[in-house]
Structure 1
Amino acid sequence: MARSITIMEAAERLRTAQRVLVIGCSGSGKSTLAQKLGSRLGLPHISMDREIFWLPGWKVRPRSEQLARLQDIVAQERWMLDGTSPGTLSLRLPHTHLVLWLRPPRWVSLYGVISRWFRFRGRSRPEMTDGCPERIDREFLAYIWNFEKTQSPEIEANLATFGPDVPVCVLKSRAENRQLLAMSEQVY
Structure 2
Amino acid sequence: MPLLDSSTPPPDRPCRIIVAGTSGSGKTTLAARLGDALGIEHIEIDGLYHGPNWTPRPSFVADVEDFTAKPHWVTEWQYTVVRPLLTERADLMMWLDLPRSVVMRQLVHRTLRRRIRHEVLWNGNVEPPLHTVLTDRTHVIRWSWSRYALLPERIREVLQRRPELPIVRLTSRRDVERWTARLGPE
Percent of paired sites with the same residue? 27
Equivalent in the alignment of 2:181: 182
- The reply on whether 1:60 has 2:59 as its aligned counterpart is no
Report the RMSD for the aligned CA atoms in angstroms: 2.0
Distance across 1 between alignment mates of 2:150 and 2:5: 25
Equivalent in the alignment of 2:93: 99
TM-score scaled by length of structure 1: 0.84
TM-score scaled by length of structure 2: 0.84
Cα shift readout 1:119-173 (whole Å, capped 9, x = no counterpart): 222222xxx4131113462433232223232343234213422x22100001111
Equivalent in the alignment of 2:79: 85
Task: State the 1:22 CA deviation.
Answer: 0.6
Residue 88 of structure 1 aligns to which amino acid in structure 2? V
Indicate the SS of the match to 1:81: strand
Cα shift readout 1:68-105 (whole Å, capped 9, x = no counterpart): 11111110110011232344221111211110011101
Residue 28 of structure 2 aligns to which amino acid in structure 1? S
* Number of residue equivalences: 177
Residue 5 of structure 2 aligns to which amino acid in structure 1? T
- The reply on whether 1:150 has 2:147 as its aligned counterpart is no
Residue 152 of structure 2 aligns to which amino acid in structure 1? S
Q: Give the conservation status (yes or no) of the 8 Å contact 1:49–1:83.
A: no
Superposed, 1:1-188 pairs within 5 Å as: 3-9=2-8, 11-13=9-11, 15-51=12-48, 53-62=49-58, 65-121=59-115, 122-124=118-120, 128-135=121-128, 137-138=133-134, 139=137, 140-161=140-161, 163-185=162-184
Q: Which runs of 5+ in 2 are unaligned?
A: none
Moved over 4 A (4+): none
Alpha-carbon spacing, 1:123–1:25, altered in 2? closer, same or farther (3 Å) = same
Alpha-carbon spacing, 1:80–1:17, altered in 2? closer, same or farther (3 Å) = same
Point out the structure with the larger strand share.
1
Bigger shift: residues 140-149 or 70-79: 140-149
Cα shift readout 1:21-75 (whole Å, capped 9, x = no counterpart): 1111011011111111111110000111012x1002211223xx22211111110
Q: Give the conservation status (yes or no) of the 8 Å contact 1:29–1:174.
A: no
Residue 126 of structure 2 aligns to which amino acid in structure 1? P
